[in-house]
Amino acid sequence: MSIMQGIESDVRFNHVAASTLARRCRNAANAIEGQATSRSGWVAHALADFLGYYSELFRGNGRVQASDARLLVARLREVAEGADQLAREARSEQDRRETARAWKQRQDERGFWDHVADWFTGGEDPPVGPAAQPVSLSFAQPEQGVRDPLQGSGSTGTSSARPDHLRTFASNSRGANDDLASWPGNLRSAYDDFTAGCGFGSLEASTVWTGFDRYLSANGEDVRWADTVAAAFEAAGSDGLVTTSNAAITASLAAAGVNAERTQLTIDPPQAYGAPPTTGYANDPVNTATGNFLEPECDLGFAGGNATLRFDRMYNSLHPGVGAFGPGWSSVAEAGLALDAEGARWRHADGREVHFPRQGSGWGRATSEAYWLDAAGDGHAVTDNAGGRWEFLAGGQLACFERGPGTRVELAWDGLRLLGLAHERGRSIAVEWADDRIAALVSSDGRRVDYGYDEAGRLVAVSTDGATRRYGWNAAGLIESVTDADGVAEAVNTYDEQGRVVTQVSRHGRTTRFSYLPGRVTVVADTDGSRSNTWLHDDKGRLVGVVDAHDQRQSMAYDAHGQLVMATGRDGSVTLAEFDARGRRTTQVLPSGARVDTVYDEADRPVEVVVDNDGDLATTTYAYEGTDRNPSRMVDAEGGVTTLAWDGNLLTAITDPAGVTVTHTYDAHGDLVATTDADGNAARLERDDAGRVTAAITPSGHRTTFSYDARGALASKTTPDGAVWAYEFTAGGRATATTDPYGHRTTIERDEAGEAHRTTDPLGRTVTREFDALGNLARVELPDGSAWEYAHDTLSRLVAVTSPEGGTWRQEYDVNGGPTRTTDPTDHVVESTRSPGGAVSTTVGDSTAVVRTDTLGRIVSVQAPDGGSRLTRHDRCGRPVEYVDALGHVTSLERDIAGRLVGLRRPDGSTTRYAWNRCGRLQSVTDPLGATTTFTYTADGHLATETDATGAVTRYDYDALGRTVARTAPGLGRSTWTFDLAGRVVGLRDRMWGARTFRYDAAGQLVEAVNAFGGVTRYRYDDLGRAIEVQDPMGGTVRRSWMPLGQIASETDPLGRTTRAGYDAAGRQVWQEQPDGQRLTWAYDATGAMTDLAVDGETVTRFTRAADGRRLTAATADGEVSLVWDAAGRLVERARDGRSLRWSWDDNGRCVGVTTPAGTSTRYERDAAGRVTAIDADGIGRVEFVHDAAGRLVRASSAGTTQEWEHRDGSVARHHLTEAGVRSTTELMWDADGRLSGVVRDGRAEHFDHDAAGQLVARTGAGVEERWAYDALGRV
């Protein structure tokens, strides 16, 4: 009797509602269809005399509209037929039930013997079969047509049209649209009645009504398009046939926010959650393809060896689900794998879903990214092409993830509830729950994050150590605002009915409007349409183009897997990429033509990279140990082998191609605790439980310590000398104060956006900053009230700087953002251009310099305005190995296998050699004559000694902070420095000036300098820190006043004499008035070069320069003086009134001869080290020189005369003079400070005494004593 089941009740089906729905669908279809002829005619009328790019666009849009109408009509009639079909099925089922009920009633009324007879005769069969299966009908949204690609461009060329025809099209179309406007509502009303009253079968048609809405919306866009284009033509002409540029029409459409394409997004929404790698994002951020507001948060994380352990959340405004953090939020607590017959879906922690289609007994590659899914034990595993692996339990929960050894994080679950995450190196994060919400996270180092929810279960607060981040929600259940712990509103959103962001207010107060246009176009602009950027997407939501606020477009193209295979820059330059079947980039071709090819092993690790620089191939290879993701051996393009040792993902040792080794030591958590050089010197780090550095210890044991506040911000630093620096931060982590070791405090006040608005130094001087709506610095007001202003274009590029005096520097840029023109306040211009081949030309006036690069961007030549070029050649590792100057002279750089300089060969063939110690530090320098200077170092790596070729040693001493505190140098004596706790020099002693001390104010400005006798020089400053008074030890005072740009405006000496100066708006000095009233003035040409010098209004010197920059002429009343330089920039001639002094130079750039106007010459001979060995002067004779290995003069001889010098500890100890066969000797004695203390000439002795300032105060000898006394200024 199972076929009788359900016959007791009538079929629940509202036939009136079904009939109404079918009728309205057919009437709506007829209404749309009835407009077809008229709309076609309106398009044809508008196309009369409409020519050019935009006519083809309009024609194509007309075709799209007609196609959309036909599709919509078909869908509406399908729905009508579906409603009729369900009605027929319902009537049939009702008839069946009524017949069955009658038969059953007859059967029930029969007696006992009738039923007995049925055992023999079989009885009366039921007159009906089983119940009909309810029909479920679903109707897809009508797809909108796609235009064929157009030829031409909306930014070049022209179009012609009759604007009145376009206006007629718009007017007629608007009326037709109005005629249809009520139909979607009527259809929805009938559909709602139908679904409410029909319990037999189902009919899903809601997407058809959505398609109707979008059809009308697209028609409305056509109207706006036509009106906007008509207005553009009207602006260019008036009535009749008008021609205008396509760029003008494009600008008009952009300004009006109109786009003509009529396609729409087909991506599955979950795939667009989170942060898909191919999607564009704007502002804070908003997915420009979907309008999805994202709020990524990292609540707990670790650094160093546990960097893969972190707990992230992501809010998606379009995500309807409710997770562990309430509605819209996704995290690792929801991450997992779901399987069905069609395939698998992997949900990431950010909410994004990746689809794996079913392929036989397994699964194919993910549809949108490079992921692969396989069965693994009782569960499954996902891998990528970069070493990533995610394992899942049988129930789909994420069990662990890793990216190579040392990175594994495991997750613990209680059913579907996440309990915690643990890194393989011991750190962990525990999860605490309250009902179905995560209530807190607790890290293994004691940090805690607490979550607060409202009565609706929505996340409203996240607190960490008293700092609370808050979320506000609107009535629709979407996040309306995000406010940080300082009360700064980072974003305030409004949404449309689809959950897309339509406005967003940034923390700087900018309100951005998001307009979602047909054709997957999103316009992001200010509410007035300014600062507009247009984002273009394909039907998978991938960003395929961005048109910036200057109407410059960047474009992207992807392969079937969503991999970026072509990127076109604003300037049309193209970057190409190829990928293999594993999604690995195997080839990249840069716009310059450079090509990079990469080969991978079976573990997706790169094993060979070949760089093609215009045919010059450079190959680097990599080798690995085991499953390590990091290479253990690298062979560079010049054959240098670098070896690396790893513990998991921790680098423990690296040895460069020359054998220099550095080792690293880590604690149990994988955090760096020591770095050791090849000599065994170790710099160590101490850490707290959170892994933060609490102490840094140099190899010599000097210790710097750090402390942190409850929120983990740096609270203080104590240096090895005991100085304590203190730091203060807001709850949101913004710096608010720094206190130096003397208690002097600099404070920072924050504005509503959290920016540093006001900074006050320890003297109370305040600098105030203001920012524009994009967060760019707009104004700086200095402590004296003067202000600098900064202007930025719509791309946030700095375009103008205005000084306190009102002068403005302006900057212009090319489409890629490179500077093209700089104009100073006096209209002096510097222009720059970039060629596709990589040349940058800089023009100042008539002079142009050009810098050329190879395809990899390395400088290969610099061409001066005179046409001469300096060339650079690189090895295959990109290191310079050869320089050629403008005269063709070659300097070669020889490098060891690690790239360190070991030989410098100059144009004359002389070579200087360099050697390096096993720690990679410079060990010795050997000049071309073989003289060697050697260097040694302290354990901390500071230079300790420098020993010249004669064995003389210069020694350096350092304090605990690594600052030089003493230098003892042969011939120079000992110099010492002392520092205060703030790191400022407070004491200095040397042989020239003796001992001096220095004192500073609270702001660190020098206020007193005390000489060796206690004489004090005092300094006083204005509010900008410029010295306005300098008082010498005798009380004499120099007073200065300053211009707003920082130049001296006047200076008055201690006698009251004042010199004044004036400057142009660009800061160049244009006049100076001497104390006696004499006035000097200077004039400049358009390049900013000086042209005239005048005295009291009369020009005394006029300067002219050759365009190539190699000749300067100064014309005076006494004649002309000209200076000439060669192509290498060396002075070769100075001429006056036709008489010239000339210089000649060798290939190394050293002077080898001077010729006077009289024609006489002086010639210089040099050794390979460049030292003068002889001077031969016409009319004077020849002098020859000999130097020791350290380059010190030891002998000079000329005709009949010889001088010889002996040195000791770097100073001259003895001088011998042999003249006319007679030899005399002078001995010299020096004190510990390197000052001359005595002289013995042929047995006659003299002694010299110096005071503490190094001044000579006495000379005694041969019974004669002379003394000198000095005032506080050092005057005799």
Instruction: Using alpha carbons, list the distances in angstroms from residue 996 to 1011, 1014, 1268.
Output: 5, 9, 21
φ, ψ of residue 14 to 5 degrees: the values are: -90, 95
- DSSP-assigned letters across all residues of 506-529: ETTS-EEEEEEETTTEEEEEETTS
Domain coordinates in residue numbering, the chain: 12-127+136-256, 266-515, 765-842, 1078-1145
Could you tell me which residues are beta bridge partners of residue 1090? 1084
pLDDT at 470: 97
**994 torsion bin: left (phi>0), alpha (psi -120 to 50), beta (else):** left
φ, ψ of residue 435 to 5 degrees: the values are: 60, -125
Kindly tell me if the per-residue pLDDT of 663 is higher than 90.
Answer: yes
Closest CA to 279 of 544, 579, 543, 611: 543
Instruction: Using alpha carbons, list the distances in angstroms from residue 875 to 593, 657, 879, 923, 1016.
Output: 19, 16, 5, 24, 57
Q: Give mean pLDDT, residues 1161-1188.
A: 94
φ, ψ of residue 1130 to 5 degrees: the values are: -100, 140
236 vs 15, residue with greater confidence: 15
Q: What is the pLDDT of residues 1020-1079, one digit of tens each?
A: 999 999 999 999 999 999 999 999 999 999 999 999 999 999 999 999 999 999 999 999
pLDDT at 263: 45
**What band does 918 get if pLDDT is binned at 50, 70 and 90?**
very high
pLDDT at 298: 95
Q: Which residues contact 706 (CB under 8 A, 6 or more apart)?
A: 692, 693, 694, 695, 696, 714, 716, 717, 718
* Residue 156 in tokens: 């070049």
Q: How many residues in total does the chain contain?
A: 1276
Q: What is the pLDDT of residues 178-233, one digit of tens each?
A: 989 889 889 998 988 888 888 777 778 888 888 888 889 888 888 988 888 888 77
Cα dihedral value 604, 607, 610, 611, nearest 10? 70
pLDDT at 146: 45
Instruction: Using alpha carbons, list the distances in angstroms from residue 701 to 510, 673, 685, 967, 974.
Output: 52, 14, 11, 22, 26
Percent of the chain with pLDDT over 70: 92
The total of other beta-carbon atoms located within 10 Å of residue 95's CB is 12
pLDDT at 1058: 97
Could you tell me which residues are beta bridge partners of residue 1144? 1153
Kindly tell me if the per-residue pLDDT of 1225 is higher than 60.
Answer: yes
Q: Is 231 helix (H, G, I), strand (E, B) or coil?
A: helix
**What band does 128 get if pLDDT is binned at 50, 70 and 90?**
very low
pLDDT at 6: 54
Distance separating alpha carbons of residues 1069 and 1074, to the nearest angstrom: 14
pLDDT at 459: 97
* Residue 449 in tokens: 């994050």
Cut 0.95: pTM above it: no
Q: Which residues contact 944 (CB under 8 A, 6 or more apart)?
A: 936, 937, 938, 955, 956
pLDDT at 202: 75
Q: Which residues contact 393 (CB under 8 A, 6 or more apart)?
A: 378, 379, 399, 413
pLDDT at 129: 47
pLDDT at 107: 66
Q: Give mean pLDDT, residues 490-496.
A: 94
593-602, long-range: CB within 8 Å, 24+ apart, which pairs?
593/855, 594/854, 594/855, 594/856
* Residue 1209 in tokens: 């500890």
Q: Is 2 helix (H, G, I), strand (E, B) or coil?
A: helix
